[in-house]
Amino acid sequence: MKKKLKRDKNKTMTEQVYEKLEDLIVFCEIEPGTVLTESEISEMIGAGRTPVREALRMLANESLVNVSRIGVLIPEISGSTHLQILEVRRAILKLCIEKAIDRLTEIDKKAIQELLDILAQKDDIEFLYWLKKRNKVLAKCTKNQFIFDELRKVQGLSHRFWYFYAKKEDHKKGQELHKYILEKVLEQDKEKAQLAVDDLIDYLELFTRKNLI
């Protein structure tokens, strides 16, 4: 039976479809390697073809789907692809941190502190949602919309790889590294914040090579 999405008056239907499909892909509820039609996706999530088509364009821009005449392909999980993503994440996150510290306001500091205050409460899945919010907050601190756009382009596939392979000790380490970065941004210590980004990406590269497929 077709189950319609609950309407959220604060979001467009395309945004709701995008978020639903992103979750299904990142958390592997749609298996990597699956090929679907637009009609099948519409039926799966209970939404019309138009918002589904628009959401698929957004997801394709983030490499979470490949759309062709054959259908909609959910990419396989690839360690080599993730290593390429991490190269980009390192550069974008360093730029984001630099500009965030340069342009930090008291409102920004409050938003960062709120993120730090709730981090310990997050379980493994909630941590990924926290990271998405973290990206928005940090990007907002930079006062540069293009930085957020670039962060978003690489987060989905990276989060899927992490979710698929990460164990409890990885989640704990990941939280510690991300927390430290935010703490250094809050202190406006640019040098330590940049080094913290290197520590994070170095760890993620090692994590990826251990699970390389």
**Mean pLDDT across 103-114:** 98
Name the CATH code of domain 13-73 (choices 2.60.40.3950, 1.10.10.10, 3.40.50.620, 3.30.2130.30).
1.10.10.10
From the options 1.20.120.530, 1.10.150.110, 3.40.228.10, 1.10.579.10, give the CATH code of 79-210.
Answer: 1.20.120.530
Give percent above pLDDT 70 in the chain: 96
Evaluate whether 13-73 and 79-210 have a shared fold: no
SS (H, E, C) 8-75: CCCCCHHHHHHHHHHHHHHCCCCCCCCEECHHHHHHHHCCCHHHHHHHHHHHHHCCCCEECCCCEECC
pLDDT of residue 1: 36
Residue 129 has pLDDT above 50, yes or no: yes
For residue 195, pLDDT over 80 is answered with yes
* Contacts of 89 by beta carbon, 8 Å cutoff, 6+ apart: 154, 158, 201, 204
Is residue 199 scored above 60 in pLDDT? yes
CB 151 within 8 A of CB 93: yes
Residue 139 pLDDT: 95
* Mean pLDDT computed over 181-204: 98
Please, what is the angle between helix 124-142 and helix 145-165, to 10°? 160
Q: What is the pLDDT of residue 6?
A: 67
What average pLDDT does the segment 63-73 reach?
Answer: 95
pLDDT, tens digit, for every residue of 82-105? 999 999 999 999 999 999 999 999
What is the CB neighbour count within 10 angstroms for residue 37? 11
Q: Is the pLDDT of residue 4 over 60?
A: no
d(CA 23, CA 2): 18
Quote the mean pLDDT of the chain: 94
Query: H or E segment at 158?
Result: helix 145-165
Give the residue-averaged pLDDT of 146-153: 93
**pLDDT for 212:** 81
| pLDDT at residue 2, as a whole number | 44
The arithmetic mean of pLDDT across residues 45-61, rounded, is: 95
Please compute the mean of the pLDDT values over residues 28-42 and round it to a whole number. 96
What ranges do the domains of the chain cover? 13-73, 79-210
